[in-house]
Amino acid sequence: MTARPATRDALAIIYQCPECEERYLGERRCPDCQLFTRRAGHGGYCPHCDELVTITDLAESTDLPETEVTPLS
């Protein structure tokens, strides 16, 4: 069985180079710095700016109001 190539619309793992901070979709080695990349998280291409973004990036960028959680009795 062969691996399918990642598509632009697929949610995949994004890696980031520790030196140049460039992000790559599914690539574990930076072609420019020749260093192993670090896992940034699951994500994909932003439909607005075409940059690679992680789910964590999106969750951190939202301004959700803080709510108080009440435990169930």
Q: What is the pLDDT along the chain (73 residues), one digit of tens a residue?
A: 555 555 544 569 999 999 999 999 999 999 999 999 999 999 999 888 889 999 888 887 666 566 666 677 6
In a domain, 53, yes or no: yes
User: In the structure encoding, which two tokens stand for residue 27, read together?
Assistant: 């690539």
Check residue 10 and report its DSSP letter: S
DSSP code of residue 62: S
Structural domain includes residue 71: no
Q: What is the pTM of this model?
A: 0.67
- Asked whether residue 51 is domain-assigned, the answer is yes
How many domains are there within the chain?
1
Integer Cα distance of 59 and 45 in angstroms: 15
Instruction: Judge contact between 43 and 61, C-beta under 8 A.
Output: no
Q: Residue 24: inside a domain, yes or no?
A: yes
Segments forming the whole domain that contains residue 38: 12-59
